[in-house]
Amino acid sequence: MPLTSKSLPEYWDTYKPHSGDGMPPAPVVDSFEWTQYPGHGPGADFLGRPRTALELGSAEGREAVWLARTGVEVTALDLSPAQTARARLWWEGTPGLSFVNAEACEYLADTSTTYDAVYSRWGAVWFTDPERLVPLIGRRLNPGGVLALSQAEPIEGFYGPQAMYGNGLSGRRLPVLRWSYSPEMWRDLLKRSGLTEIEASVLPAPEPENVGTLMVRAKAPAKPAVPRRRR
Ligand SMILES: C[S@@+](CC[C@H](N)C(=O)[O-])C[C@H]1O[C@@H](n2cnc3c(N)ncnc32)[C@H](O)[C@@H]1O
């Protein structure tokens, strides 16, 4: 079976499921969290001060909602039809917020829209080959625009695509991939993609023996290089 994202909406449709009948109430959105530990690490200021932003892998839409409430025009994109439909029902009518149901690489390759910030909070960047995704993001950033992402810290020495069975070990085969790289590898990849002001590090957990958070940020060059005139 080819390892493409086409098989994955069914996996992500059940992310953060709810029990019982009907639609659960919308989650409370009172902060922008990058890490798995509420109140730990930076907030939305990690993105700078964008006017427009694209979230890749927004699921419930919490961070997108928080950002839109601060006046940013946010596009919240997710591969999963169920996640997108649920987020739309919850957050319909939030000024400046729109939802797109699409695969990140396909959307970025097709759209002509550019953004001041593109971000992924444990989202599409973790579950897509960054060698393919990051150059596509770079092309859709405005000059000086920010790419920011967070995900679990890598396990030392185990880098590259990490595969698991999405339906468990006795279910129908559904390979799900996550890409895990060290901060040094991220710095190299971002540099090769033409991004600047690169920062990549592991933010330790509040209890230092617990799993930390990989935090990455880089910018598109402030101005496209002006070609020199020939004499
Ligand atoms: C682990 S969840 C994180 C969701 C949310 N950002 C959060 O922090 O709760 C990953 C999300 O990324 C989405 N996703 C994974 N791969 C994607 C892709 N290639 N394009 C768009 N969305 C993707 C999934 O559908 C899922 O909703």
Residue range 117-135, pLDDT digits in tens: 999 999 999 999 999 999 9
Pairing between β-strand 73-78 and β-strand 97-101 as defined by DSSP bridges: parallel
CA of 204 relative to ligand 1 center, distance in Å:
23
Name the CATH code of domain 31-219 (choices 3.40.50.300, 3.40.50.150, 3.40.190.10, 3.30.300.130): 3.40.50.150
Reported confidence tier of residue 1, pLDDT bands at 50, 70, 90: very low
Q: Is the CB of 29 under 6 A from ligand 1?
A: no
Residue 7 has pLDDT above 90, yes or no: no
Which pTM value belongs to this model? 0.93
Q: Is the CB of 78 under 6 A from ligand 1?
A: yes
Ligand 1: nearest atom to the Cα of 120? 6
Residue range 12-33, pLDDT digits in tens: 998 887 656 678 899 999 999 9
φ/ψ of 104, rounded to 5, equals -60, -50
Residue range 44-64, pLDDT digits in tens: 999 999 999 999 999 999 999
137's CB contacts (< 8 A; 6+ apart) are 56, 108, 118, 147
Measured CA to CA, the distance from residue 71 to residue 97 in angstroms comes to 10
113's CB contacts (< 8 A; 6+ apart) are 54, 75, 140
Pairing between β-strand 73-78 and β-strand 52-56 as defined by DSSP bridges: parallel
Six token digits for residue 184: 């040094």
Closest residue by CA, ligand 1 atom 13: 57
**Mean pLDDT over the full length of the chain:** 93
Residue range 188-216, pLDDT digits in tens: 999 999 999 999 999 999 999 999 999 99
Ligand 1: nearest atom to the Cα of 16? 9
Q: Is the CB of 55 under 6 A from ligand 1?
A: no
**Annotated domain spans of the chain:** 31-219
Q: Is the CB of 57 under 6 A from ligand 1?
A: yes
